[in-house]
Homo-oligomer: A and B are copies of this chain.
Amino acid sequence: MAEHNTNMRLKLPVMCIVLEVILIILFGAFVEYHPDAHARGWHQYDVNNKTSNPDYENEFYYRYPSFQDVHVMIFIGFGFLMTFLQRYGFSSVGFNFLIASFSLQWATLMQGFLHGMHDSKIEVGVESMINADFCTGSVLISFGAVLGKTSPVQLLVMAIFEVTLFAINEFILLSVFYAKDAGGSMTIHTFGAYFGLMVARVLYRENLEKSKSRSTSVYHSDLFAMIGTIYLWIFWPSFNSAITAHGDDQHRTALNTYYSLAACTLATYAFSALVNHEGKLDMVHIQNAALAGGVAVGTAGEMMLTPFGSMIVGFLAGTISVLGYKYLSPVLESKLKIQDTCGVHNLHGMPGVLGAVVGILTSVAASKEVYGNGLGDVFEKIQNGRDSSTQAAMQAASLGVTLGMALLGGLIVGLILKLPIYGAPPDTLCYEDAIYWELPGEESGSEELASVKIPDESEKLNG
């Protein structure tokens, strides 16, 4: 079967090189430093008034620490979160690394073309880096849904389309509806989750249980995954606040996210023990549901949600996420034929929708009285006359558009990815690093694991 020729010797290099050459050409043609990063641009000062930009006002100092936190989340957070699978650690971290490296370049262009052009140039700086990382996050969420069942080439193809659709959806939400979504409950989480779930649906594998033995974790792989979880948890306040307005907005968003996550964690432990017959905690819940609080304040985090409100949202998010893992995921697989490897529906899907709803409700309550002169920084449209219920309606419309774009986009891209040309693994070798990676031998005793079990299979594949 052509589909199962998993040899990447030509496919992957051709794909990577062609994509990078295209990226380089487009960057050469369209990309320019933002004035804050441009030697001439930053030092253009008013000769008459002898004033120039003071260095401490460079955007770099407002946002670079947050950017680095986000960067850690994208590459360490997402990468290690997925290493929970016992034989898929190389691919989890490694493919995460590859598709993120591609996506952030491609996102710079797509987001730039749609809402960052100045004199037909895309200006790049710390804000575009953050935005590109955000878009990449969305792709990595979708990756979580199809983890273990896809080839790296297939993932790159998915990224090409998903980044493009993400940028379009983001443009509609932010520049047409003027919706607020700084931490991306809608643009990043809802979009990434439902897009990925739809792709997973289209790529449904009837005989996936043939790889069942590898679809679980082992003791050490769960510890590696906790590195990812904890980093995502720690830096989520930076994620949600990375592109909010300077000053109180960044400050408040970080606070709200911090409290939401703390409350979410207690809910996660509570419900994880409650839904287990012996009252034992489940690592899948801890690794994932404890993060739902960050997702759920991705829209309202910059608003005057109050710590009180944030904690309620976080508590709800943790609760629905654990319950989703326990009761909904099995149904999704058996009834809807969605094999959601990492349970992104529970971590990003439902909490993302919850976050959008919280954003709608918090927007309704926006007023000059509550926000004072800071209103314009959060809701520029309300400041300029839009009433808060219109803002809320736009937030609601944004959720609808996002779901539509994600599901339709996921359907089409899923069909494209179903073509038997990308070297996807056979049903018997899902969740297995040995297909795409030169594996080292193992320490004495378990050597047969890496080498013996696979070869006879892979010989057939390459034959």
Q: Which residues of A contact B (CB under 8 A)?
A: 7-13, 15-17, 19-20, 23-24, 27-28, 31-34, 36-45, 52-53, 55-62, 64-66, 68-69, 71-72, 75-76, 79-80, 83, 86, 89-90, 93-94, 97-98, 101-102, 104-105, 124-126, 129, 152, 216-224, 226-227, 230-231, 233-235, 237-238, 246-252, 254-255, 258-259, 261-263, 265-267, 269-271, 273-274, 276-283, 286, 290, 304, 306-308, 311-312, 315, 370-375, 377-378, 435-446, 448-450, 458, 462
Known: A101-B262, A247-B53. A217 touches B440 (CB 8 A): yes
Taking CB atoms, residues of chain B closer than 8 Å to A10 are 274, 279
Query: Within the complex, what minimum Cβ distance (angstroms) separates A237 from chain B?
Result: 8
Known: A20-B315, A65-B65, A274-B13. A266 touches B40 (CB 8 A): no
Query: Within the complex, what minimum Cβ distance (angstroms) separates A66 from chain B?
Result: 8
Taking CB atoms, residues of chain B closer than 8 Å to A445 are 445-446
A36 is contacted by which of B101, B248, B270, B281 (Cβ under 8 Å)?
B248
Bound complex: CA A449 to CA B444 (Å): 8
Q: Is the CB of B248 within 8 A of A42?
A: yes
Taking CB atoms, residues of chain B closer than 8 Å to A219 are 89, 439-440, 442, 450
A64 is contacted by which of B19, B65, B248 (Cβ under 8 Å)?
B65
Q: Is the interface of A mostly helix, strand, loop or mixed?
A: helix
Integer count of this chain's copies in the complex: 3
Known: A36-B248, A56-B56. A9 touches B152 (CB 8 A): no
Q: Which residue from chain B places its CB closest to the CB of A311 in the assembled complex?
A: B24
Bound complex: CA A33 to CA B227 (Å): 31
Q: Is the CB of B255 within 8 A of A43?
A: no
A79 is contacted by which of B13, B125, B230 (Cβ under 8 Å)?
B230
- 19 A-B contact pairs sorted by A residue (CB < 8 Å): A9-B273, A9-B279, A13-B270, A13-B274, A20-B267, A20-B311, A24-B312, A34-B251, A36-B248, A39-B370, A43-B373, A43-B374, A60-B251, A60-B254, A65-B68, A79-B226, A98-B265, A102-B266, A283-B440
Known: A265-B101, A308-B24, A440-B218. A251 touches B56 (CB 8 A): no
Q: Nearest 9 A-B pairs (CB), nearest first?
A: A40-B372, A9-B279, A39-B374, A43-B373, A42-B248, A16-B270, A101-B265, A55-B246, A8-B279
